[in-house]
């Protein structure tokens, strides 16, 4: 009997993973978003990737006084980690579509004592971003852009709210991770180079690199 229940759980877990990884391509976005909202806090909150975010901050040559936006932040691990660094005097914002994950992020900010240096909000990246032009020094968007329709429009929206000398950090998948959804380096070059961005690649996770874009001086 136990093995039947275990088998059913295994199948359900695999289906959920498939729905999330293929991000609505087969079962529709509504199911993906329901899954993110219902299980995202447990999924993304179960472990911190603090070491990776510190490595990313170094690759961004960060000073520590920047205003940072993390779009598709899940439970805010990236902004929470950066805001907790001892030399941080800036402000880190996380946006996500999931209200449940944003509640978790606010709770975690209070728990870590960084709620004066962070803010979280529910927003849909497919809509115009709720910020003025030139609002951020750094914008990170990892694991999201490639899953949405019209990623070029969303990227341009990020550039609109980025300071003229600001930096972007975006996902570039390799290997099997690139099968579900991926934007190629060529795509990033086509979008960002005409806007004056210079691109650099750093490794983040297995099969998941980051494209760092920064405008080069004329
Ligand atoms: C694959 S996770 C990546 C989480 C985190 N950035 C990371 O790299 O660990 C994608 C995140 O984007 C969020 N998301 C999906 N569609 C979105 C949308 N249209 N607007 C804002 N956030 C969205 C999901 O709720 C989820 O937290």
Regarding whether 108 and 40 lie in a shared domain, the answer is no
DSSP-derived pairing of the beta strands 197-205 and 208-215: antiparallel
- What are the φ and ψ backbone dihedral angles of 118, each rounded to 5 degrees? -135, 155
Residue with tokens 């229940």: 5
| pLDDT tens digits, one per residue of 83-94 | 999 989 999 999
Regarding whether 63 and 6 lie in a shared domain, the answer is no
Q: What is the overall mean pLDDT for the chain?
A: 89
CB-CB contact of 50 with 77 (8 Å): yes
**Portion of the chain with pLDDT greater than 70, in percent:** 84
Question: Residue 130 is part of which domain span?
Answer: 48-215
Regarding whether 73 and 105 lie in a shared domain, the answer is yes
Regarding whether 35 and 64 lie in a shared domain, the answer is no
Name which residue sits closest to atom 4 of ligand 1, judged by CA: 74
| pLDDT tens digits, one per residue of 104-122 | 999 999 999 999 999 999 9
Q: Tell how far the Cα of 218 is from the centroid of ligand 1, in angstroms.
A: 34
Lowest mean pLDDT among 45-49, 95-99, 180-184: 180-184
Name which residue sits closest to atom 12 of ligand 1, judged by CA: 72
Regarding whether 144 and 53 lie in a shared domain, the answer is yes
pTM of the model: 0.88
Q: What angle do CA 75, 77, 78 make, to 5 degrees?
A: 125
Regarding whether 116 and 190 lie in a shared domain, the answer is yes
Regarding whether 88 and 12 lie in a shared domain, the answer is no
Regarding whether 67 and 150 lie in a shared domain, the answer is yes
Question: Which stretches of the chain are DSSP H helices?
Answer: 2-21, 29-45, 50-59, 77-83, 99-112, 151-161, 177-180, 185-192
Regarding whether 175 and 100 lie in a shared domain, the answer is yes
Residue predicted with more confidence, 161 or 48: 161
Regarding whether 100 and 23 lie in a shared domain, the answer is no
Ligand 1 nearest-atom number relative to CA 44: 9
In sequence order, the β-bridge partners of residue 208 are 173, 205
DSSP per residue, 80-121: HHHHTSTT--SEEEEEES-HHHHHHHHHHHHHHT-TTTEEEE
Q: Tell how far the Cα of 175 is from the centroid of ligand 1, in angstroms.
A: 21
For the chain, the domain total comes to 2
Contacts of 190-196 with C-beta under 8 Å, sequence gap 24+, read 191/152, 191/155, 191/156, 192/155, 192/159, 192/168, 195/159
Residue 204, both tokens: 């983040």
Regarding whether 40 and 52 lie in a shared domain, the answer is no
Lowest mean pLDDT among 84-88, 96-100, 150-154, 173-177: 173-177
Q: Domain containing 92 — which CATH number?
A: 3.40.50.150
Regarding whether 180 and 92 lie in a shared domain, the answer is yes
Residue predicted with more confidence, 171 or 13: 171
């Amino acid at each position: 009997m136990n093995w039947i229940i275990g088998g059913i759980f295994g199948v359900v877990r695999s289906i959920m993973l498939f729905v999330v990884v293929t991000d609505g391509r087969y079962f529709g976005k509504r199911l993906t978003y329901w899954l993110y909202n219902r299980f995202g806090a447990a999924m993304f909150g179960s472990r911190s990737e603090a070491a990776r975010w510190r490595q990313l901050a170094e690759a961004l040559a960060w000073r520590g006084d920047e205003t940072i936006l993390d779009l598709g932040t899940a439970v805010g691990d990236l902004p929470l980690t950066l805001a907790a660094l001892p030399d941080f005097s800036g402000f880190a914002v996380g946006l996500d579509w999931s209200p449940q994950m944003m509640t978790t992020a606010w709770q975690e900010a209070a728990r870590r004592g960084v709620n004066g240096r962070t803010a979280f909000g529910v927003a849909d990246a497919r809509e115009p971003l709720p910020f003025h032009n030139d609002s951020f020094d750094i914008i990170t968007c990892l694991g999201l852009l490639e899953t949405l329709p019209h990623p070029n429009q969303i990227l341009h929206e990020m550039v609109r709210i980025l300071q003229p000398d600001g930096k972007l950090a975006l996902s570039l998948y390799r290997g099997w991770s690139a099968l579900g959804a991926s934007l190629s380096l060529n795509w990033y070059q086509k979008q960002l180079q005409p806007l004056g961005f210079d691109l650099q690649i750093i490794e983040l996770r297995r099969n998941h690199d980051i494209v760092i874009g920064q405008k080069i001086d004329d």
